[in-house]
Structure 1
Amino acid sequence: MRAQNVPAVPPPPDVVVNPGFSVWLADYARAAKARGLDPAAIATTTGGLSYSPRVVELDRAQPDDSNRTQSQFSDYLSRRLDGSRINRGRALHEDMAAKFAEIEARTGVPANIILGIWGMESSYGVNTGNFDVPRAVASLAYDGRRRELFTKELDASVAIIAKGLARRDELKGSWAGAMGQPQFLPSSYLAYAVDGDGDGHADIWDSKPDVAASIGNYLAKNGWRRGQPWGMRVVVPGNLERWRVRNLVQPDQCVRPMQRHSRWISVGEWKALGLIPMGKPWPADDTLATLVEPDGPGTPAYLTFGNYRALLAYNCSNFYALSVALLGDAIDQPGN
């Protein structure tokens, strides 16, 4: 019994009483059981959850081209492509050279691209997030802007617990529910996480071989093609008539980022239009490429090839995919 005249400890500032959320969570539990999810795992995963207004606030303020908020890619990149991140990526590449060679032999994904994602997602495990993942995805599902997506992620969280793949207290990550060093959503963990160190468990939280192997597996299963580049920076002539290369086909996936791409045109045609490569040789003339100018005409421009779409599959944002690719290029050029 609490002593009289001693005030109760107030809840954390992000905990608010939200009766609507409690009702939604009870409805979710019933529906999840009807979908065949384990009742004990549902109770373990969702017991005591409260609504997080902070998570919803962060969801509505994403600083890239996957959201309505507009910002400059040059600013986004300058905050991420720094010497420390590049050097730590090179050191990790050297330390794990044999493991990266094994992963590339199996998946076709080179070390520098895996490290580009690893570095951008969590700074090689330094920043993995401390949000409770089930609470975060439940709050986002309740909010409704992407209800179907985050209900699926809550289901996946329950499945992770039901299968004994992680303890409930280990489900920590970003405000968007991304977990571990590769920042996998719960559904991505179930689909792509693999055992890279041979201990029989896919540990994306603490095992570096598992992290690297899981990223490689993700990209390979999302279309990465062995031996092909992601793209290259180019100089676009001032007289390019962009309406001639505009993509007239409305994308049905990754819509806002893909609207910034031209139509697919062969490298030979891009050459004829006067584009000039920067820092890399041209690939074969029949290689198909799209032009991306993330900050608009007259700013840094990139031709992207098929493998770039695998990077977009990891995170549907040109800002993100270009940053990963450019970090990977920097890691792969130790002389610079």
Structure 2
Amino acid sequence: MILRFAAIALVLLVPAASSAQIPEPAQQTEAPPEPSTEMRFQAWLSDFRARAAGEGISAATIASALDRLTYSARVVSLDRAQPDDSRPQSVPLFSDYLAARLVPARINPGKRLASELSPTLRAVEARYGVPPEIMLGIWGMETSYGGYTGNFDLVRSLASLAFDGRREALFTRELIAALRMIDSGVPRSRLVGSWAGATGNPQFLPSSYLTHAVDFDGDGTADIWQSRADTAASIANYLKNNGWVTGGDWAMRVSVPAALDRMRVVNTIEPKSCTRVLAKHSRWIPVKEWRELGLQPLDGRTWPADDTLATLVEPDGPGKGAYLSYGNFRALLAYNCSNFYALSVGLLADQLRTGS
């Protein structure tokens, strides 16, 4: 109690200071709230608009494609959920992969389409050198002959993926290409497809459309969405542009002797592209030497010319199925860098070949 009165007395004895002499209390500054993902996406989109204009995209296309565009968390989630084949446990067996795809529901419609489109497919083959069954093999694997082409808005998907940054360069390039498609006359409403930005019957990315799509039916539009002739020709043109050789086969299934020393055939040159996939291939060896090593064709196939170069591919490992792949197999890999995919396309094509 004494201390309390003393303190009060002391305060009363101190002269009052002017308001100018009393320091302002320190302001409590709080960090600004983190901007929402949508806010950051809109800021990114504003910068991208300037880039698109600098790339020569018209103001009308930029407005029609990007106005009211929003971020898609679902697309980014799907992208991040893709399996990483650097982890062996995440990679299925090829035998399981094939069993889920080489099914009557895919084979039978392909055979019907081969019959219905025979004149068109032969005309496409005459121009590009790609057999009808290979065109149909890709068409069937990609979209079940147009049965499902995807319902994601391509511009929104590509913009979300470019903004996310995991593969920023790729998706920014494809977004610019999508805008070029609109500038070239493709309706904005046509740009619908997979979450990863592929569209139409052959599931072309926008840059592939600009480079490889063909107006084969002569109506003035390379229509890979509704024209079956344009679809087949565009697939064939893609393969030809990526090295398909007329008259060449893609691969054949073979038996491999248990005693084969795989170190004798290992590829010591690191691939420059499609690295993980091609790392599973042997070096290029002439067919004559493969025969001398004891390999044998299966499924009624016969050896090609002795000097034909081939690589050994064992997708599930030694002793679990093997193929000798030829140069045209690399064109299939250019379409989708996956041994599983390329083998499945070829094996579906074998089922669709006339007379099989």
Structure 1 and Structure 2 fold alike (TM over 0.5): yes
Q: Aligned to 1:302, what secondary structure does the other structure show? A: strand
Q: Residue type of the partner of 1:228?
A: G
In the alignment, which residue of structure 2 is the partner of 1:8?
none
Aligned pair in 2 of structure 1 residues 85, 229: CA closer, same or farther (>3 Å)? same
Q: Residue type of the partner of 1:97?
A: S
- Whether 1:75 aligns to 2:96 is yes
Q: Whole-Å Cα distance in 2 between the matches of residues 152 and 271 of structure 1?
A: 46
Larger radius of gyration: 2
Q: Residue type of the partner of 1:227?
A: G
Q: Whole-Å Cα distance in 1 between the matches of residues 228 and 83 of structure 2?
A: 29
- Whether 1:158 aligns to 2:183 is no
Residue among 108, 129, 147 paired with 2:129: 108
Q: Whole-Å Cα distance in 1 between the matches of residues 81 and 239 of structure 2?
A: 27
**TM-aligned CA deviation for residue 63 of structure 1:** 5.3
Q: Whole-Å Cα distance in 2 between the matches of residues 217 and 42 of structure 1?
A: 30
Q: Aligned to 2:126, what secondary structure does the other structure show? A: helix
In the alignment, which residue of structure 1 is the partner of 2:158?
137
**TM-aligned CA deviation for residue 149 of structure 1:** 1.0
Q: Residue type of the partner of 1:258?
A: L
Residue among 223, 237, 246 paired with 1:217: 237
Q: Residue type of the partner of 2:263?
A: W
What does residue range 1-336 of structure 1 map to in structure 2 within 5 Å? Answer: 17-62=37-82, 65=85, 69-164=90-185, 166-279=186-299, 280-332=301-353, 334-335=355-356
Instruction: Name which structure has the greater RCO, CA cutoff 8 Å, separation 6+.
Output: 1
**TM-aligned CA deviation for residue 57 of structure 1:** 2.4
CA contact (8 A) 1:231 1:304 kept: yes
CA contact (8 A) 1:65 1:317 kept: no
Aligned pair in 2 of structure 1 residues 291, 65: CA closer, same or farther (>3 Å)? farther
**TM-aligned CA deviation for residue 141 of structure 1:** 1.2
**TM-aligned CA deviation for residue 40 of structure 1:** 2.0
Deviations 1:83-129 (CA, angstroms, capped at 9, x unpaired): 12111111111111111111111100000000000000000000100
The percentage of aligned residue pairs carrying the same residue is: 58
Q: Whole-Å Cα distance in 2 between the matches of residues 246 and 145 of structure 1?
A: 33
**TM-aligned CA deviation for residue 328 of structure 1:** 0.3
Q: Whole-Å Cα distance in 2 between the matches of residues 274 and 60 of structure 1?
A: 44
Aligned pair in 2 of structure 1 residues 122, 22: CA closer, same or farther (>3 Å)? same
**TM-aligned CA deviation for residue 59 of structure 1:** 2.1
Normalising by structure 2, report the TM-score.
0.86
CA contact (8 A) 1:66 1:316 kept: no
Q: Residue type of the partner of 1:61?
A: A
CA contact (8 A) 1:65 1:257 kept: no
Q: Whole-Å Cα distance in 1 between the matches of residues 62 and 292 of structure 2?
A: 59
**TM-aligned CA deviation for residue 25 of structure 1:** 1.4
Q: Whole-Å Cα distance in 2 between the matches of residues 67 and 46 of structure 1?
A: 38
CA contact (8 A) 1:267 1:284 kept: yes
CA contact (8 A) 1:64 1:71 kept: no
Q: Whole-Å Cα distance in 2 between the matches of residues 76 and 189 of structure 1?
A: 28
Q: Residue type of the partner of 2:105?
A: S
**TM-aligned CA deviation for residue 67 of structure 1:** 8.8
Aligned pair in 2 of structure 1 residues 311, 64: CA closer, same or farther (>3 Å)? farther
Runs of 4+ that moved beyond 6 A = none
Q: Residue type of the partner of 2:111?
A: R
Q: Whole-Å Cα distance in 2 between the matches of residues 67 and 26 of structure 1?
A: 38
Q: Aligned to 1:18, what secondary structure does the other structure show? A: helix
**TM-aligned CA deviation for residue 238 of structure 1:** 1.0
Q: Aligned to 2:101, what secondary structure does the other structure show? A: coil
Structure 2: gaps (5+ residues): 1-35
